[in-house]
Amino acid sequence: MSAHDTICAISTPPGVGGIAVLRLSGSDAKRLAEMSLRRESGRPVRLTDHKALFAHLYTDEGFLDEVVATLFEAPHSYTGETVVEISCHGSLFVQQRMLQHFVSIGARLAEAGEYTLRAFLNRRLDLSQAEAVADLIDARSSTAHRLAVSQMRGGYARELEQLRARFVDLSALLELELDFSDEDVEFANRKVLRQTVEELKDKVSRLVESFQSGNALKNGVPVAIVGSPNVGKSTLLNALLHEDRAIVSDQAGTTRDTVEELFTINGVMFRLIDTAGIRHTDNSVEQAGIDRSRRAAEHAAIVLFVVDAADPAPTVAEALQQLQSSIPLADKHLLVVRNKCDLQQLQLPVTPLSSPVVNISAKKGDGLDALRHFMVQAATQGISNDDVLLTNARHYEALKHVLSALDEVLKGMDMQMPSDLLVVDIRDALYHLGTITGKVASDEILSSVFSRFCIGK
């Protein structure tokens, strides 16, 4: 693709709607739009910056549609170039004919993510902000929306830039020593240098550690529903989703595979996973489902351990101990869910367990509000609205490389390595930081980032 062409695309979702928006961007955008627009009287139009104008759009075949055109003169536009947005009626025929018209008079069809790529190339956004645009488009919950907006507005970029500035200062001091190597001058006090590197490592570590929470909040916090067969796991899934998503039967072992659905509570999106009942079985198909249940629980952030309300506490404790012995639960939020509490004859006294317990009736809906409250509390524990959370896997990998480079700096200092060797590792850390914001951006990185965008954005 050429960054000098004037590009066009439909920026609204595919299909029929009330209106559709075509976006032109490039040095010829205003001229091409004015060539195609007329006032109701037939007179030519002159577009004015940041003002919407009602007009008639003509192609070589004559009148096509009544439209509203808005001009954004460079550099005050999304892409940093001159942009014209034309709102037409949502007819598929009108959309396609309008696209064909502008291509025929000099524009070319935009490629996926090309508008945001141009915004990046024109320094309207850094690379992390450009990726946040894609996250904002994909946001399916208020929490995912908040994280994307914070990143797009530069909160995350500012955090990275502050880190980068510290690295640059370190590198400059060490490289200055190289200029005076013959005089054995030490500009970077090694005690202060170690303290600075350790502070930077601590900040980067916190960002890396936040990825698990940030990624879960962005894509849905994984919640595994586990327990013995026929305790009401599938009924609980259906009750939380308010739909009959999983088959419910009195026959034990109905669920043979994991059933996964997304749903939202108070702006937090969850990935709810119903699993096969965990028990000893000689049935190879059921055993495969049980193995998948264990894997789902291993990767879940929250585990709902469902038991029958008729089960006495010692039985529940034993089952819980078996679960903990087969699945690492130390880093997970675990809740014991006593189901079928609507059956009064099953209400038996329960001795305290190490894990929190909630009584519910999945069939009648009793106690589900308390369960939802626990899930939201567990998903957002220790996270405030001001926290900068890592949500992007590419950034996560880059920051792990930064941590590795900082470890090498500290090892080098322990071994009393000379400045020129320490600088190599600091430059490596700088490089990987730069790949996040785009200060270091190869074609491969840009292709990977912008390929996930829709055409028109």
What CATH number is associated with residue 16?
Answer: 3.30.1360.120
Which of 110, 142, 170 is where one domain is finished? 110
Name every residue whose Cβ is closer than 8 Å to that of residue 243 and which is 6 or more positions away in sequence. Answer: none
pLDDT confidence band for 249 (50 / 70 / 90): very low
- Digit-coded pLDDT (tens) for 20-40: 999 999 999 999 999 999 998
Are 164 and 37 part of one and the same domain?
Answer: no
Q: How far apart are CA 29 and CA 300, in angstroms?
A: 50
Are 24 and 163 part of one and the same domain?
Answer: no
Q: Any idea which of 23-37, 104-118, 238-252, 355-369 has the lowest mean pLDDT?
A: 238-252
CATH code assigned at 138? 1.20.120.430
The pLDDT score that the predictor gives to residue 74 is: 94
278 DSSP assignment? P
Which of 380, 400, 420 is where one domain is finished? 380
pLDDT confidence band for 179 (50 / 70 / 90): low
Mean pLDDT value across residues 91-97: 94
Q: How far apart are CA 167 and CA 156, in angstroms?
A: 17
Q: Any idea which of 114-128, 338-352, 358-372, 421-435 has the lowest mean pLDDT?
A: 338-352
Q: What is the DSSP string of 60-109?
A: TTEEEEEEEEEEE-TTSSSSSS-EEEEEEEE-HHHHHHHHHHHHHTT-EE
The more confident residue out of 57 and 361 is: 57
Judge whether 222 lies within some domain: yes
Are 258 and 339 part of one and the same domain?
Answer: yes
User: In the predicted model, what is the mean pLDDT of the chain?
Assistant: 81
pLDDT confidence band for 89 (50 / 70 / 90): very high
CB 112 within 8 A of CB 126: no
pLDDT confidence band for 183 (50 / 70 / 90): low
Q: Is the pLDDT of residue 420 over 80?
A: no
Q: Which domain covers residue 42, as residue numbers?
A: 7-110
Judge whether 417 lies within some domain: yes
Judge whether 25 lies within some domain: yes
The pLDDT score that the predictor gives to residue 456 is: 80
Tell me the β-bridge partners of 24.
Answer: 8, 84
Judge whether 116 lies within some domain: no
Are 376 and 255 part of one and the same domain?
Answer: yes
The pLDDT score that the predictor gives to residue 291 is: 64
Percent of residues, the chain, with pLDDT higher than 90: 26
Q: Is the pLDDT of residue 16 over 50?
A: yes
Are 203 and 252 part of one and the same domain?
Answer: no
Tell me the β-bridge partners of 23.
Answer: 9, 85
Judge whether 200 lies within some domain: yes
The pLDDT score that the predictor gives to residue 256 is: 47
pLDDT confidence band for 67 (50 / 70 / 90): very high
CATH code assigned at 298? 3.40.50.300
The pLDDT score that the predictor gives to residue 353 is: 57
Tell me the β-bridge partners of 449.
Answer: none
Q: How far apart are CA 406 and CA 204, in angstroms?
A: 10
Phi, psi of 341 (to 5 degrees): -75, -5
CB 68 within 8 A of CB 87: yes
Q: Is the pLDDT of residue 261 over 90?
A: no
Residue 19, both tokens: 């209106």
Burial letters 359-390, b for 16+ CB under 10 A, else e:
bbbbbeeebbeebeebbbebbbeeeeeeebbb
Judge whether 118 lies within some domain: no
The pLDDT score that the predictor gives to residue 287 is: 54
State the DSSP H helix or E strand holding residue 336, giving kind and residue range, or none if neither.
Answer: strand 333-339
Percent of residues, the chain, with pLDDT higher than 70: 83
51 DSSP assignment? -
SS3 27: coil
The more confident residue out of 393 and 453 is: 393
Are 197 and 236 part of one and the same domain?
Answer: no
Q: Any idea which of 15-29, 247-261, 300-314, 334-348 has the lowest mean pLDDT?
A: 247-261
pLDDT confidence band for 77 (50 / 70 / 90): very high
- Digit-coded pLDDT (tens) for 321-360: 777 767 777 778 888 888 888 775 545 545 455 678 888 8
Peptide bond preceding 75: is omega within 30 degrees of 0, i.e. cis? yes
Q: How far apart are CA 385 and CA 374, in angstroms?
A: 19
Are 154 and 226 part of one and the same domain?
Answer: no
Judge whether 115 lies within some domain: no
The more confident residue out of 397 and 163 is: 397
Which of 55, 76, 110 is where one domain is finished? 110
Are 64 and 188 part of one and the same domain?
Answer: no
Mean pLDDT value across residues 93-121: 93
The pLDDT score that the predictor gives to residue 292 is: 67
Parallel, antiparallel, or unpaired for β 221-227 and 83-90? unpaired
CB 262 within 8 A of CB 270: yes
The more confident residue out of 91 and 188 is: 91
Are 370 and 254 part of one and the same domain?
Answer: yes
Are 250 and 375 part of one and the same domain?
Answer: yes
User: What global pTM score does this model have?
Assistant: 0.73
The pLDDT score that the predictor gives to residue 247 is: 47
Are 436 and 332 part of one and the same domain?
Answer: no
Judge whether 244 lies within some domain: yes
Q: Is the pLDDT of residue 182 over 70?
A: no
Are 368 and 302 part of one and the same domain?
Answer: yes
Domain tally, the chain? 3
